[in-house]
């Protein structure tokens, strides 16, 4: 199975800087058939980068979008406007959930709108540090997973990518800690089992599940070999050329 390395650039890089950085990545990156490399720059950079990107090597993702196609929604960008420009969209990232108050209902509408516009949603789910401390991890994961998929038809669930990102492991968290491969294995199994129970065993086995949270070249191999993990969502390490390309190399070697 293919693996996925997604670089979430968050709010970094002016358009010119993004373009130079993409140029450098493409120069360094061979064409890997079995690793899907995806970068998620800010909205402003998507259009120029879409003209520059070598689609045999990499694909573009948006970091967010709004579920209505058009109308009185000042400041928003719709999935229909992104159609053809990006192949993927990150949806429900914990920064969207906690800083911008997106709930499962809104996230579900976004997942549906992405699929309707032929954009693969990367649905992010993950528990906070206190939810984990109170033993609520499994409930939070099930609620966010089934909540986020609630507007999607059964057959379309297979086209969603799920990214498990424990909020406490994201590098920008106040006291970020590394998730152990065992922590990741347990939740990834729960994700697959939950999907399997609700949408059928085959979908549970085949759905793409990624991990994210302080991924860097020294831990990428360990996370990629966790059973059931198909890829990595990389934040801060994706902003450093050598680290991002090293992670892609590691993914290539793990799959070989
Ligand atoms: P990080 O970010 O790799 O910097 O922890 C991951 C993310 O927020 O997607």
pLDDT tens-place string over residues 9-44: 999 999 999 999 999 999 999 877 899 999 999 999
Residue 235, ligand 1, Cβ within 6 A: yes
Give the atom of ligand 1 at the shortest distance from the alpha carbon of 214.
5
Candidates 95, 151, 165, 243; catalytic one: 165
Distance (Å, whole) CA 71 – CA 246: 43
pLDDT band at residue 143 under the 50/70/90 scheme: very high
- Give the pLDDT score at 98: 95
- Give the pLDDT score at 174: 78
DSSP3 helix / strand / coil % (the chain, rounded to 5): 50, 15, 35
Please give the C-alpha separations between residue 178 and each of 50, 167, 227, 231, in angstroms, as whole numbers. Answer: 34, 11, 18, 17
**How many Å lie between the centroid of ligand 1 and the Cα of residue 211?**
10
Known active-site residue 56: no
**Its pTM surpasses 0.85:** yes
Distance (Å, whole) CA 99 – CA 94: 8
**pLDDT greater than 90 at residue 47:** yes
Give the atom of ligand 1 at the shortest distance from the alpha carbon of 95.
8
Give the atom of ligand 1 at the shortest distance from the alpha carbon of 169.
5
- Give the pLDDT score at 30: 83
Cα-atom radius of gyration of the chain, to the nearest Å? 17
Residue 213, ligand 1, Cβ within 6 A: yes
- Give the pLDDT score at 33: 83
- Give the pLDDT score at 31: 79
Give the atom of ligand 1 at the shortest distance from the alpha carbon of 212.
6
Residue 122, ligand 1, Cβ within 6 A: no
- Pocket perturbation via mutation, ligand 1, pick of 96, 233, 240 by most ligand atoms within 8 A of CB: 233
- Give the pLDDT score at 223: 98
Average pLDDT over residues 45-65: 96
Average pLDDT over residues 165-181: 92
pLDDT band at residue 7 under the 50/70/90 scheme: very high
* Coil, strand or helix at 86: strand
- Give the pLDDT score at 91: 98
pLDDT band at residue 5 under the 50/70/90 scheme: very high
The label of the residue with tokens 């499962």 reads 104
**How many Å lie between the centroid of ligand 1 and the Cα of residue 70?**
30
- Give the pLDDT score at 1: 81
**pLDDT greater than 80 at residue 256:** no
pLDDT digits (tens, 9 = 90+) for 205-238: 999 999 999 999 999 999 999 999 999 999 999 9
- Looking at per-residue pLDDT, the higher value among 5 and 29 belongs to 5
Proportion of the chain above pLDDT 90, given as a percent: 94
**pLDDT greater than 80 at residue 161:** yes
Give the atom of ligand 1 at the shortest distance from the alpha carbon of 215.
3
pLDDT band at residue 175 under the 50/70/90 scheme: confident
**How many Å lie between the centroid of ligand 1 and the Cα of residue 44?**
21
- Give the pLDDT score at 229: 98
Instruction: Dump the DSSP string for 82-139.
Output: HBTTBSEEEES-HHHHHHS---HHHHHHHHHHHHHTT-EEEEEE---HHHHHTT-HHH
**pLDDT greater than 80 at residue 201:** yes
- Give the pLDDT score at 235: 98
**Residue whose C-alpha is closest to residue 136's, from 171, 99, 167:** 167
Q: Whose CA is nearest to atom 9 of ligand 1?
A: 235
Which pairing describes strands 161-164 and 120-125: parallel, antiparallel, or unpaired? Answer: parallel
Known active-site residue 186: no
Q: Name which of 38-42, 51-55, 105-109, 170-174 the model is least confident about.
A: 170-174
Q: What are phi and psi of 81, to 5 degrees?
A: -70, -25
Q: Whose CA is nearest to atom 1 of ligand 1?
A: 235
**How many Å lie between the centroid of ligand 1 and the Cα of residue 219?**
13
**How many Å lie between the centroid of ligand 1 and the Cα of residue 227?**
21
């Amino acid at each position: 199975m293919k693996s996925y390395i997604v670089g979430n650039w968050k709010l970094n890089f002016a358009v010119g800087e993004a373009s130079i950085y993409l140029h450098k990545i493409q120069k360094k990156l061979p064409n890997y058939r079995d690793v899907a490399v995806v970068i998620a720059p800010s909205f402003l950079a998507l259009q120029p980068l879409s003209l520059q990107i070598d689609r045999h090597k990499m694909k573009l993702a948006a970091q967010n979008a709004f579920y209505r196609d058009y109308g009185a929604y000042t400041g928003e960008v719709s999935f229909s406007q992104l159609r053809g420009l990006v192949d993927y969209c990150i949806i429900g990232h914990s920064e969207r959930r906690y800083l911008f108050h997106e709930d499962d209902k809104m996230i579900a509408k976004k997942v549906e709108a992405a699929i309707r516009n032929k954009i693969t949603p990367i649905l992010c789910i993950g528990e906070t540090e206190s939810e984990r401390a109170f033993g609520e991890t499994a409930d939070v994961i099930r609620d966010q997973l089934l909540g986020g998929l609630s507007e999607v038809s059964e057959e379309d669930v297979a086209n969603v990518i799920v990214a498990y990102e424990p909020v406490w492991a994201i590098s920008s968290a106040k006291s970020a800690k590394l998730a152990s491969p065992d922590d990741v294995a347990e939740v990834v199994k729960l994700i697959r089992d939950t999907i399997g129970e609700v949408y059928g065993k085959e979908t549970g086995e085949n759905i793409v599940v990624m991990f994210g949270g302080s991924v860097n070249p020294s831990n990428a191999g360990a996370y990629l070999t966790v059973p059931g993990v198909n890829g990595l969502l990389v934040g801060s390490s994706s902003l450093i050329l050598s680290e991002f390309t090293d992670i892609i190399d590691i993914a290539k070697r793990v799959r070989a």
